[in-house]
């Protein structure tokens, strides 16, 4: 029985995607890489974040969430950060009907020039976390899609 982990989405099976690893035995997070080369334009007011495909999906227990956060060196080294600070991947995102649970990382580029993110560059960190439910919780909705779909239930 699988407990939690990462898998490559079908669209990227033949693209040599690396399953995320922790770099040291005391690292809390798994490094997430870009699945393909992508240019992050220099940020301008009003522009939307760039979605970086990872080629990955994550499975976990129903009371867990995968949190994706920027690398601490991201803004200085690559000029990238997340506009929302933390990405939340719910357990029911895995194998959803729209995109198989493909994880994308939303980024903005803080540098004055465009930045090329190359396939295999680490663009974020992910860690699995248990979460708690409030006493009065009565949620019974079912996910109806992929990226950004929890408000469509």
Q: How many CB atoms lie within 10 A of CB 74?
A: 19
Q: What's the pLDDT score for residue 152?
A: 53
Q: What's the pLDDT score for residue 78?
A: 80
Task: Tell me the pLDDT tens digit for each residue of 95-117.
Answer: 998 899 999 999 999 899 999 99
Domain ranges of the chain: 5-131
**Class of CATH domain 5-131:** mainly beta
* HSE-CB of 25 using CA atoms within 13 angstroms: 0
And the tokens for 115?
């930045």
Mean pLDDT for 144-149 is 57
Q: Given its phi and psi angles, is residue 12 left (phi above 0), alpha (psi -120 to 50 degrees) or beta?
A: alpha
Whether 107 contacts 82, CB under 8 Å = yes
For the full predicted model, state whether its pTM sits above 0.95: no
């Amino acid at each position: 029985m699988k407990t939690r982990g990462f898998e490559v989405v079908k669209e990227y099976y033949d693209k040599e995607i690396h399953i995320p690893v922790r770099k040291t035995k005391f690292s809390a997070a798994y490094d997430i890489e870009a699945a393909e080369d992508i240019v992050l334009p220099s940020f301008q007011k009003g522009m939307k974040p760039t979605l970086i495909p990872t080629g990955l999906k994550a499975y976990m227990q129903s009371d867990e969430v995968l949190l994706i956060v920027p690398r601490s060196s991201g803004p200085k080294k690559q000029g990238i950060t997340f506009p929302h600070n933390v990405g939340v991947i719910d357990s029911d995102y895995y194998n959803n009907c729209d995109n198989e649970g493909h994880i994308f990382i939303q980024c903005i580029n803080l540098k004055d020039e465009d930045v090329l993110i190359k396939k295999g560059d680490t663009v974020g960190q992910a860690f699995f976390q248990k979460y708690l439910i409030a006493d009065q919780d009565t949620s019974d909705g079912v996910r109806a899609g992929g990226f950004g779909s929890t408000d469509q239930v």
